[in-house]
Amino acid sequence: MFDKKAKPSPRRQAVLDRYSALVDRLSPRSKMGQGLFRAFVVGGAICTLGQGFIELGLHCLDMTVAAASTFASVMIVLLTAALTGAGVFDKIGQYAGAGAFVPISGFANAMVSPAMEFTREGLVLGLGAKLFTIAGPVLVWGVSASVVYGVIYWLITILG
Amino acid sequence: MPTNRIGQSTIVLPGRPRILAGASIAGKKEGEGPLRGDFDQIIEDDLFGEESWEKAESRFQYEAATAAIAKAGLTPAQLDVALGGDLLNQIMAASMAARELHIPFLGLYGACSTMAESLCIASMLVDGGYARHALCTASSHFCTAERQYRFPLEYGCQRPPTAQWTVTGAGSIVVSGDDTRPALCRATHVTIGRIVDMAIKDANNMGAAMAPAAADTLTRHFADTGRSPADYDLILTGDLGRVGHDVLLALMQERGMPLDPTRCTDCGLEIFAPGQDTHCGGSGCGCSAVVLSGHILRRFREGDLRRVLFMATGALLSPTTSQQGESIPGIAHAIALEADA
C-alpha cells in the first residue's frame, strides 16, 4: 500500500467489490422523498419570511427596493444567529437539510457555530483562527469562481 | 520460557484474573436510554460543572475510576497500574484524569476498542504477576468528538442514516489477582485483533469499516480455542452499530460460523432505543465501556450470564487521513469473561 502505483490484485479487488456490495445492501439510504419535502417546506418558509421583511420595509418603513432587500437579508441573518445561539438551528438543519441552508441562513449558522465552539481556545487562536472553518471554503471558491466568470463576462463584452 | 499462547493468536490466562468491580457514568441522552438503570450515575449537565467539554470528559473518567476503585473495596494507592484512553487528540481526557489519580499510568488509543484493549492488557499484567490490581478506563463525549471529528455542535448539518451517535460517558473496571476478593467474573482468554481494512472510506459508516476486523478476530478466537458461538451466552461486540452488526452476521454466516442474533449483540445497539434518533446506534470508547461496566457486570452479578465474549471494535481513522482519501483501518480485540465458578 506504500507503493503508490500498486493496485490491488484482481482477486483482492473482487473481494473488496463484493464487500462493498454487501455494505451497500445493508446500509440504510437517505429518504429522498421525505428530504425533498422537508427542504421545500422549510426553505420555502424561510424565503416567505424574507419576502415578508421586504414587504415590511417597502410598505411600513418607507424603504427603497434595494434597502428592503438588504433589510430582509440582515433580518434572516440576525434570526439565524439568534437561533444558533439558542441551540435551536442545528435541530432545524437536521430536520430540513438543504432547506435550512440555501437561503443565507446557512451562512449565518456557518459563522456563528464555530464562533460559539472555539471561543474556549482563546479569542485570537481559537475564535480568530477557526471562525471561517466552514464558511471559508465557500468564500475562497465562491470569490475565485466569481473572478473567473467576471473575466469571461468582460471578454464577451469587449468581443461582442 | 513457558508460553500461555494457544493456536495462532490467542492467549490463555491460567490465573483467571478477577474482575472485582465496574463503575459507569453516563450522560443525559444515555440516561434516557434502555440501560438507564445500570449506570452508577447519570450526569444531566454536558459540561459536568467544568469550563470545557474536554475537562468534562476527563472528569467523567476520573469519577468512573474512583467509583470503580471504591466499589472494589480498594484505595487508589493500592492500584499498581491504570490503563485508559479516549478519542481526543493525544488522549487528553485519560491523561488529565490520571493526573489526579496518581496511579502508574499507561495511555492507550484504540478508538472505540479501547475498553477491550485496556482489559486485555490489564488481564495479562495481572495474570503475569506484574500487577496485583489494575484499573481499566475509557471514555468518550459527544461534544468533544463532534468538534474534533465533524463540525461545531451548533452547526445545522444533517447526519447521514448510517451515522452513529458518540456516547457521553465513562466506564471503569478493576482487574485483580487477589484470590481472597470476590469476583463478578474472571478473564480467561485474550485474542488481540489485527488491522483489517476493506477499503471503506466513509467516516459516516464506521460499522462497515470495523465489521471485517470483528469477523477476523472472532474466526481466529474460535479456531484457537476450539470453541464455537454456542459456547458463549453472549457475544458482545463494541460499537458496530446497526449496519456493522448486520454486516458481521452476514460475514460469519458466509464463513460457516453463523451467530445467533439473540446471543450476539452490540453495545451501540443496546445503549439507545430506536426512538432516540441516533440512526445506527451509539459509538465512542465510552459506549462499550459503560455497557460492559454497567449492564454486563450487573448481569454477571445476578447470575444471568455465565460466559461472555467481549469484543470491542475500533475504527482507527483521523480527520486528516480521511481528508487525504485514506481508507479506515478497523480493529477488534476480544476477551472471554466467565462467571466465578
Contacts of B147 in chain A (CB under 8 A): 117
Asked if A93 and B155 come within 8 Å (Cβ–Cβ), the reply is: yes
Nearest CA in chain A to B196: A16
Asked if B158 and A134 come within 8 Å (Cβ–Cβ), the reply is: no
Contacts of B156 in chain A (CB under 8 A): 84, 89-94, 100-101, 106, 109, 113
Q: How close B205 gets to chain A, by Cα (Å)?
A: 8
The pLDDT of residue A4: 65
Determine the 3-state secondary structure of B295 from DSSP: helix
Q: How far apart are CA B163 and CA B169, in angstroms?
A: 19
Q: Is A16 on the interface with B (CB under 8 A)?
A: yes
Of the candidates B33, B303, B21, B32, the one whose C-alpha atom is nearest the C-alpha of residue B171 is B21
- Using 50, 70 and 90 to split pLDDT, how confident is the model at A1? low
Question: CA dist B185 to A39, B181, B233, Å?
Answer: 52, 11, 14
Q: How far apart are CA B109 and CA A98, in angstroms?
A: 36
DSSP-assigned states of every residue in B225-262: H---GGG-SEEEESS-HHHHHHHHHHHHHHTT----TT
Q: How far apart are CA A114 and CA A109, in angstroms?
A: 9
Q: Is A111 on the interface with B (CB under 8 A)?
A: no
Q: Mean pLDDT across the stretch A10-23?
A: 95
State the DSSP code for B12: E
Asked if A16 and B199 come within 8 Å (Cβ–Cβ), the reply is: yes
Contacts of B153 in chain A (CB under 8 A): 90, 113, 116-117
Contacts of A32 in chain B (CB under 8 A): none
Beta strand B105-107 with B81-85: parallel, antiparallel or unpaired?
A: parallel
pLDDT tens digits for range B7-41:
999 999 999 999 999 999 999 999 999 999 999 99
Asked if A87 and B154 come within 8 Å (Cβ–Cβ), the reply is: yes
User: To probe the interface with B, which of A19, A76, A132 has the most B CB atoms within 10 Å?
Assistant: A19
Question: CA dist B222 to A53, B13, B231, B235, Å?
Answer: 68, 16, 10, 12
Q: Mean pLDDT across the stretch B236-248?
A: 96
Q: Is B262 on the interface with A (CB under 8 A)?
A: no
| pLDDT at B287 > cutoff 80 | yes
pLDDT tens digits for range B53-82:
999 999 999 999 999 999 999 999 999 999
The pLDDT of residue B340: 86
Residue B128 contacts residue B17 (beta carbons within 8 Å): no
The percentage of chain A sitting over the pLDDT mark of 70, rounded to a whole number, equals 98
Q: How far apart are CA B71 and CA B173, in angstroms?
A: 10
The pLDDT of residue B156: 87
DSSP-assigned states of every residue in A31-97: -HHHHHHHHHHHHHHHHHHHHHHHHHHHHTS---HHHHHHHHHHHHHHHHHHHHHTT-HHHHHHHHG
Residue B202 contacts residue B168 (beta carbons within 8 Å): no
The pLDDT of residue A133: 92
Q: Mean pLDDT across the stretch A47-76?
A: 95
Contacts of A13 in chain B (CB under 8 A): none
Question: CA dist B313 to B179, B227, B266, Å?
Answer: 31, 21, 10
Q: Mean pLDDT across the stretch A26-42?
A: 93
Q: How far is CA A151 from the centre of its chain?
A: 26
Among B152, B159, B198, beta carbon nearest to A114: B152
Domain ranges of chain A: 31-159
Q: Name every residue whose Cβ is closer than 8 Å to that of residue B19 and which is 6 or more positions away in sequence.
A: B173, B174, B175, B176, B183, B184, B185, B186, B187, B297, B300, B337
Asked if A84 and B156 come within 8 Å (Cβ–Cβ), the reply is: yes
Q: Mean pLDDT across the stretch A132-148?
A: 94
Residues 147-166 of B with CB under 8 A from A: 147, 151-162
pLDDT tens digits for range B197-213:
999 999 999 999 999 99
- Using 50, 70 and 90 to split pLDDT, how confident is the model at A101? confident
Q: What domains are defined for chain B?
A: 5-176 (3.40.47.40), 185-338 (3.40.47.40)
The percentage of chain B sitting over the pLDDT mark of 70, rounded to a whole number, equals 100
pLDDT tens digits for range B136-191:
999 999 999 999 999 999 998 889 999 999 999 999 999 999 999 999 999 999 99
The pLDDT of residue B76: 97
Contacts of B212 in chain A (CB under 8 A): 19
DSSP-assigned states of every residue in B56-110: HHHHHHHHHHHHHHHHTT--GGG-SEEEEE-SSGGGHHHHHHHHHH-S-EEE---
Asked if A114 and B246 come within 8 Å (Cβ–Cβ), the reply is: no
Q: Is the dihedral of CA B76, B83, A121, B152 positive or negative?
A: negative
